[in-house]
Structures are given as C-alpha cells and as structure tokens.
Amino acid sequence: MATIENTYWLKDSLNTTKSGVITTQSESVIIEFDAVVDNGKDAIADSGFIAGQSHRNDTSLRLQGNIGASIVPEDNGSAWILDLTYSDDPMTVQTTATEDEYYIPEVDLGKWSYQIVVAQDKETGGAIVNTIDDPYDPLPVETIYSPSVSIKVKENSPNLSRIFDIGSINNNQVKIAGITIPKYCGMLVDYTTEPYRETEDVISFMNTYTFDLNFKKNNAGTRIGFKLETISAGFNEYSATAPNNKVEIKVADPEAPTDRTKDQPVATPQMLDVNGTVTDTPYYQEWVVHDLVNFSLYGLPTSYPVN
C-alpha cells in the first residue's frame, strides 16, 4: 500500500451543475504517492476516497462511487489524477448522518508583528535627520502589525509534504477564507494535521494551515508583501574602460581638494542608478528571497463564512 505524500486540487476541472433541486459537482485532484502504484484500482484505494465522504468545503455534497483514475502524464505511476463527482442527491449515495456531516472548516483571524528601520517621514517623504541634516544613530524603529489567518479543513490525507512548504510565499494571487492575498503577500508559517475517524471505516484528517499576511507597498506604491526592496548602492561604479567594467568610487581629499591624484575611496556606499553609476536619485531593486508555492493548489475554501 502506497502512502500519500501530497494532494493538489485542480481548479480548472471544477464543474458544477444543478438539475431541479439536485446539485452535482465534479472535480479532479492529483495524488502524489511515496511509491509507484501499478493500477487505477490500487490508486483509488490508496487515495482514501470512499463513496459517501462529504466534500471538504461543502458538507451537503457526498462523493459518488464512480471515481476515475489515470496516471499523471510523463509520470512513472507515483502520481495519479482522480476524477471525483459529488452530489447532494440523497438517493445517489446512502449514508448515515453523523455530527461530522455538519462540520465546516474553521477560520481564525489573528495578527503578527515585525520591525523595520524608518529613514523617511511617511507624511512628508523627507529624510529623518537632525537639525544639521545628519541621520540619527541609530535610526528609529517602527513595529508593523499585520493580519494572519488560520484555517482548519477536513481532508482525506495528512499531506505531510506540506511541512516542506512552511516559510514559502504565494507565487500568484489567491483567495483564502474571503481574504484576497496578492502575489508575494502570504506566507505559510505553520501546518499541522490530526487524524479523525469520520465513520467506522473512514479516517479523515483535520489539517490546519496558518498564513502570515504582509501587505507592504514598495516605493512606487505597489504591494510587494514579503519581497525585499533595496536601494542600489555600493563602493564601485560602472566604467566602460575598466577591465571588469568596475572602478572604485573616490572623492576629493579634504586636505588637497584640487589634487585629484589624492582622491580617497568613499567611506560609505554611494547610490547607483540603473546603469551602475553614481546618482543622487534612489534606484530601487526588488528581490524574491523566499521559496514560492502555488497556494491555490491546496484547495482551501475561498469564501467567508465558509459554506
């Protein structure tokens, strides 16, 4: 028997139809196993999906028995695509109602904080300096408070590979529990799982995802979240004639300002423009310093309150 390593819900396959009072929803999911599974029957059995299970986001929908399985293209059989159909037709799947039938994902909102050095006045945009235009040492520090969201969902697998995503940020915009998280603005900071016996024959898992959100804007006013923004600066500047196109930045010797042969290297990094030459105008650069993950593949509820 193979063990599930990861589960990825495919949004492109989501399809819902309504006929009279009956709602039918079909969707597909990629299951990654820790070993090769030789056939579709075993893939379905090892996936943990059983007819009668309630949908992870809508407990009124129950899984029908016609589950399809196919190998992920170009895979050796360790990853399978399962096609699932859910319905709220009580005649389609006979189940015994339990308290779990009424379970809905749990959402908790909170906050987290971090500190940044402040060099500019946020009202005027001017530099924070003393009365003779020298920067304070040390510069003042601001504590930033940002929201966090934790959501507990019922899934058919512990998805233990999720722990390797902890510390990663979202590579595209995603909506989780009613919160729209722009690209780079969410970080998975914790993932826990707890087995739960749904019925005598079915074990589900209560999986909790916790995200820290960061809606920081860059100098141009665009939200960049956890991306790093820096001012290009250094002790060298571009020179077309230098062997490696770099020359040391120097300034006049205060004791011999007119003798340029006595120029001294600068004591602090100098601002550089887009071409790498000294400038008085800040040139900002942005860097992605965290691993990127597509959070939408987790298949988490997008609405709040969660249905």
Q: Is-cis flag, bond preceding 147, omega within 30? A: no
Q: Return the ∠ at Cα 66 (arms to 60 and 69), rounded to 5°.
A: 115
Question: What pLDDT, on the 0 to 100 scale, is given for residue 12?
Answer: 73
Where residue 299 falls (left for φ over 0; alpha for ψ -120 to 50; beta otherwise) is left
Distances (CA, A) of 158 to 83, 163, 218, 220, 276: 20, 10, 37, 42, 50
Which residue blocks in the chain are alpha helix, DSSP H? 40-47
Report the distance separating Cα 65 and Cα 137, nearest Å: 69
Query: Letter for the amino acid at 47?
Result: S
Give the domain ranges of the chain.
4-90, 102-226, 233-282
Short-list 5, 32, 8, CA closest to 296: 8
Task: Find out whether 80 and 69 touch, Cβ atoms under 8 Å.
Answer: yes
- Residue 94 pLDDT > 50: no
Q: Where are the beta strands (DSSP E) in 134-243?
A: 141-155, 169-170, 174-176, 179-181, 186-197, 203-213, 228-231, 233-234, 236-238
* Choice among 49-58, 78-87, 106-115 with the minimum mean pLDDT: 49-58
Residue 118 above 70 pLDDT?
Answer: yes
Kindly report the CA angle at 175 between 172 and 176, in degrees rounded to 5?
120
Token code pair at residue 166: 């902890």
Q: Residue 185 pLDDT > 80, yes or no?
A: yes
* Tens-digit pLDDT profile for residues 131-184: 988 888 888 999 999 999 999 998 888 999 899 999 999 999 999 999 999 999
Q: Which of 15-19, 261-265, 269-273 has the lowest mean pLDDT?
A: 15-19
Question: For residue 10, how many other CB atoms are within 10 A of its CB?
Answer: 15
In this structure, what token pair is assigned to residue 235?
């002790």
With 50 as the cut, is the pLDDT of residue 273 above it?
yes
